[in-house]
Structures are given as structure tokens and as C-alpha cells.
């Protein structure tokens, strides 16, 4: 009977969603603001599933873009801005947090969070007031996209070293292992003996290849 009494309250889209903060401001000149935390609270007596959507998911990396919040608990959602450049200054993006019961697929509630990139936190007060006013007046309908594609941070963008790089590295290692010209006690044919300069070149190239592999 208790389930039947509270079921009418759990109408799609009517469940209040508690998120803090409700606005994210990233400053280009302050790297500490490029990564921020949204906290989703669950004050209810039942677990909630959540999903994070975004109007521009390619600009952000969201750790744990979907998950579960236990009853009367909270969860932190880390959001990192990964495309900080002047072309995005003042552009208003939106995140939408959708929640639902574990036994249901329909969204019971949603909350939108505004995200803005500004050039500096040291803007004149008048300019800040105008920016805040513009953000509050931004009430246009937005299209949201799944954020889960951005979850594996930098893994899709970097698939590791290419086969050519690996092959060149193996060739350089093999060259360094070959005997040097002048070594008589060797079973390796004479035409495979390398000079000191050739081995120095192989060592230099191997160092460059190692740097490339470490950066990928």
C-alpha cells in the first residue's frame, strides 16, 4: 500500500533533483578551475540511477557520466574542460542530470547546470555583472547528447604508437646489438658490422622513437 501511495509522486520529470553547484564557471588563465566537481544528492529512501548529458560533450570529460546513488547519500561527478581556447569564451553550455529509479527506465527528474568559459577571474566588476546577467537570461531550448563517449579520458584520442614507429624502434635496437667494425671474434657476417657513427645514428633515432611512444 505504501508503494501505491508514493507512486503518483514519481511521475516522469516531477521528482526534484538536488545538485550543487548549479553553475560551473571555468577560467582560462586558472588551470585549477579547469576541473570541477558536481555533487548529486539523494535525500530519498530509494536508490537513484543518474545520467549526465551535455549540449557539447566534445568539450568536456566527465568521470562516471552514469551511475547509482544510494538512498540518503551523495556522489561526486568530476567534470574537466578539455578545449580551453578563446573561441569558446562566453559560450554557454549546459549539462543535464537525469535521475530514475533502478527499476524504471523513464527519467523521474532532471536538473540543468550551466557551464561557461571565461578568459580570466580578474575581469572588471561591470563586465562580470553583464556576463552573469546574460547567463541568467539564457533560457533557450538546448539539445543534449550522451556524455558517456567522453568518459575514457584521452583513451580514444590516443590509440598508442603506430606500427611503423614500433618497427623502426625494433630496427634501431637490432642495429645497436650488431657488432662494431673491427670486432674479429664474431659469428655475424662482416657486412652486418656497423661503424660507430652508424650506431650513434641508430641510438639517436631510438631516443626520438622512445619520446614519441611515451607521449602517445
- pLDDT tens for residues 59-102? 999 988 899 999 999 999 999 999 999 888 988 999 999 999 87
Mean pLDDT of 146-167: 57
Residue 196: predicted pLDDT: 80
What pLDDT, on a 0 to 100 scale, did the predictor assign at position 76? 92
Q: For residue range 104-118, what is the model confidence (pLDDT) as tens digits?
A: 778 889 999 999 999
Phi, psi of 20 (to 5 degrees): -140, 135
- Cα-Cα-Cα-Cα dihedral sign, residues 105, 107, 108, 113: positive
Ramachandran bin of 85, using left for φ above 0, alpha for ψ from -120 to 50, beta for the remaining angles: beta
- Tell me whether the omega of the peptide bond preceding residue 44 falls within 30 degrees of 0, making it cis: no
The per-residue pLDDT for range 169-187, each reduced to its tens digit, is 888 888 888 888 877 777 7
Amino acid at each position: 500500500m505504501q508503494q501505491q501511495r508514493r507512486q503518483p509522486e514519481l511521475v516522469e520529470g516531477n521528482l526534484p533533483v538536488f545538485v550543487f553547484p548549479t553553475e560551473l564557471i571555468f577560467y582560462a588563465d586558472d588551470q585549477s578551475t579547469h576541473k570541477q566537481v558536481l555533487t548529486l544528492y539523494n535525500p530519498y529512501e530509494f536508490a537513484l540511477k543518474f545520467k549526465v548529458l551535455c549540449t557539447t560533450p566534445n568539450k568536456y570529460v566527465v568521470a562516471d557520466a552514469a551511475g547509482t546513488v544510494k538512498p540518503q547519500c551523495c556522489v561526486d561527478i568530476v567534470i574537466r574542460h578539455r578545449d580551453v581556447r578563446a573561441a569558446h569564451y562566453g559560450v554557454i553550455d549546459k549539462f543535464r542530470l537525469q535521475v530514475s529509479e533502478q527499476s524504471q527506465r523513464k527519467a523521474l527528474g532532471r536538473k540543468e547546470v550551466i557551464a561557461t568559459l571565461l578568459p580570466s577571474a580578474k575581469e572588471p566588476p561591470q563586465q562580470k555583472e553583464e556576463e552573469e546577467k546574460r547567463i541568467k537570461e539564457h533560457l533557450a531550448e538546448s539539445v543534449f547528447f550522451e556524455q558517456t563517449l567522453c568518459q575514457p579520458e584521452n583513451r580514444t584520442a590516443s590509440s598508442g604508437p603506430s606500427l611503423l614507429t614500433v618497427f623502426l624502434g625494433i630496427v634501431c635496437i637490432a642495429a645497436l646489438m650488431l657488432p662494431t667494425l673491427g670486432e674479429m671474434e664474431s659469428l655475424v657476417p662482416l657486412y652486418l658490422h656497423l661503424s660507430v657513427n652508424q650506431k650513434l645514428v641508430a641510438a639517436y633515432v631510438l631516443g626520438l622513437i622512445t619520446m614519441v611512444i611515451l607521449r602517445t
